[in-house]
Chain A
Amino acid sequence: MRTIKSWWLVLAFLSGFALAMWAEEVILHWRDNRLEFSAPRVHFLGGKPLELLHNAAPVPFGFQVTLFSGTREHVFHKLTDRFVVSYDLWEEKFRVVKTQSPVRRVEHLSATDAEKWCWDQMAIDVSGVAATEPLWVRMEIRAEDGKDGPLFGRGSVSESGISLTSLIELFSQPPRREQSHWGPFEMGPFTLEELKRSSRRGS
């Protein structure tokens, strides 16, 4: 009877852990004083950006990761970077170029590997953070898949004047026109100690 109860307890814990893992958009890891991110459920190489990529257009993605320490208002580190992704029509593989210093480039990647490589570049050095200090992290991705037009949109003012249709087109655009974005994803509070423990469990 006691054995059965223990199994149920373990099963419930594992189920809960699996559910929690599934529910998390972004997963944190601690390795060698670096905070690493992975987001197996966030597929930014999809939807409209992927459609553009399949039509040979290069699509830049802006990444931003902000780490708060102590309180949610205190920014410990903010990291932004830009990745230009293109899709090789003949090889059917992705090339990613990290454009901020240090510039890096990888190619012949699948979509999943390309996404993972981008996240890998966003690791944050946390060597100055106390092990028990509460931390929060916020992550956001924006695709530069919309184009800002000139005054009143492209060619909306013709020789015959400005029309209602062109005005509707203009004002129906969000501030950054049809821009795809993911997040912001927020996590916390957590401590490095907790992360180290879970990393040891995972390894």
Chain B
Amino acid sequence: MTKLCCLAAVAASMLAGCNVTDDDEKSAQELNVNSRYTVESVNITGQRNVAIPDPLRSELNSFVGTLYDHSALERAADRIKKELRVTDVSIKVARGNEPEQVIVNFEVTRSNEHIFDINVGKFVYDSKEGWSGDGGATMKIRGNALSFGLESNSDTTLERYAGVRARFERKKLGTDRLSVRFDFTSYHDEWNPATLAAAPVSDIYRWRETFSPMATVVIADPLELDFGVSFARFRVPFSTPAQADGQETAAARTESSNAVVSTLRYHQRWGSEHDSQLQELNASYSISSATTLLDTDRNFTRQMARARYKYRHARHTVELGFLTGKISGDAPLYERFVLGDSTTLRGWNKFDLDPLGGSHVVHASVDYAYRIFQVFYDTGAVWDRSPEQRQSVGVGFKKEGFQLAVAFPLRAGRADPIFYAGMNF
């Protein structure tokens, strides 16, 4: 506990120190002899077929006709770098065609499409569940991306799964509107005693593998549809699963869960990180249906809808999240809904809510942040028969993907807080 408090204090001070006002830049601009000249035109050069988002193009056009402001142009260069996902943007300025005017060129020098890269996608420390994280390597060759990764996760599912994943992806298949990918995962699983005590023996698998060929079609940007098939196999024992050494016995069999999967996604953003105001909407509806047509041992239909809306004005940010889902049939445990992780009902232990997860879920959250400081409120229920609403609150710090938070379940009696720390959770 003391260590965590120290960690919190250090991280808070580290994050707080990041917001440095750049007075030097401002004064340097006032001292620039070229600030008396007028911007004649603004262009982006150095990269062919670059699609410039409309808000960015509007910002660049707004420089035309104004007095030269180098600091503002540097901020625009940062925005170009971020939005076009390029490594470097340099500002090139030349005399204009008319006297006392200048032409500004943002020179994009190198694309961010690295042939080989290693990536840490997410890691999170939960004071109840320990560490979860994933990382991998990606190799890109002529529009094809091949990636391999390692993952250990006890955050989002009932079990801790650890193993490997691989993906082959082609972003464009004949047209920009169609992409395909093949995912393979192989995980070994460990279970919480609460789940072992509550689950039927036949539900406790020790490993699982999934192969998913999927395609994505852009219906009307930014509306996309994912569709494909998921072939899953997992090993379940006939006898007791609670073996201390984790070794399987001969009394086990392999079951399959093969499902047709489709997801409708909508992601729209108004403004950018550089604007004083930003809105972002991320919504999806997914359905997976495992039927006997695909020779599956488990028959079920799983539906889930989720939405997240973000509104930022100056240093204030509000995020609203909503999630609902329903499973009918006999779904494997990894498909069941879980609340009480690092993004839902934060502060609750998921095994206290339901050690087997639920077939129904509803959840909503409100996050408010001022600069790096955030507070949040979660409410929701996960159930099979009758819902019971739970609530939690928390505070923390968040900066550039890094987050540190402490959350409390709202309930009568003793309430243990849960600490979260990590990146991109």
Contact in complex: B423, A86 (CB < 8 Å) = no
Known: A55-B92, A163-B117. A60 touches B24 (CB 8 A): yes
B370 is an interface residue with CB less than 8 A from chain A: no
Known: A151-B18, A161-B121. A57 touches B78 (CB 8 A): no
Q: Which applies to chain B's interface (DSSP): helix, strand, loop or mixed?
A: mixed
Interface residues on A, range: 20 to 34
In angstroms, Cα B95 to Cα A57, docked, is 14
Segment from B31-39, B178-186, B198-206 that makes contact with A: B31-39
Nearest-Cβ distance from residue A177 to partner chain B, whole angstroms: 13
Nearest-Cβ distance from residue B266 to partner chain A, whole angstroms: 16
Contact in complex: A56, B68 (CB < 8 Å) = yes
Could you say which residues of chain A place their CB within 8 Å of the CB of B135? 161
Please, which residue of chain B has its CB at the minimum distance from the CB of A157?
Answer: B401
Contact in complex: A90, B402 (CB < 8 Å) = no
Interface 1/0 per residue, B1-38 and A, CB below 8 Å: 00000000000001100101000100111011110010
Interface residues on B, range: 35 or more
Contact in complex: B28, A161 (CB < 8 Å) = no
Could you say which residues of chain B place their CB within 8 Å of the CB of A60? 24, 28
Please, which residue of chain B has its CB at the minimum distance from the CB of A55?
Answer: B93
In angstroms, Cα B92 to Cα A154, docked, is 20
Please, which residue of chain B has its CB at the minimum distance from the CB of A148?
Answer: B20
A to B CB contacts below 8 Å, 20 in the list: A55-B91, A55-B93, A56-B34, A56-B68, A56-B70, A57-B93, A58-B70, A87-B33, A89-B37, A89-B93, A95-B31, A148-B20, A150-B400, A151-B400, A154-B78, A154-B81, A155-B78, A161-B121, A165-B112, A169-B87
Known: A58-B32, A152-B400. 14 other contacts (CB 8 A): A56-B32, A57-B93, A84-B32, A90-B95, A97-B31, A99-B27, A147-B74, A151-B14, A151-B15, A160-B121, A161-B401, A161-B423, A161-B424, A164-B119
Interface residues of B (CB under 8 A from A): 14-15, 18, 20, 24, 27-29, 31-34, 37, 68, 70, 74, 78, 81-82, 87, 90-95, 99-100, 102, 112, 114, 117-122, 135, 399-402, 423-424
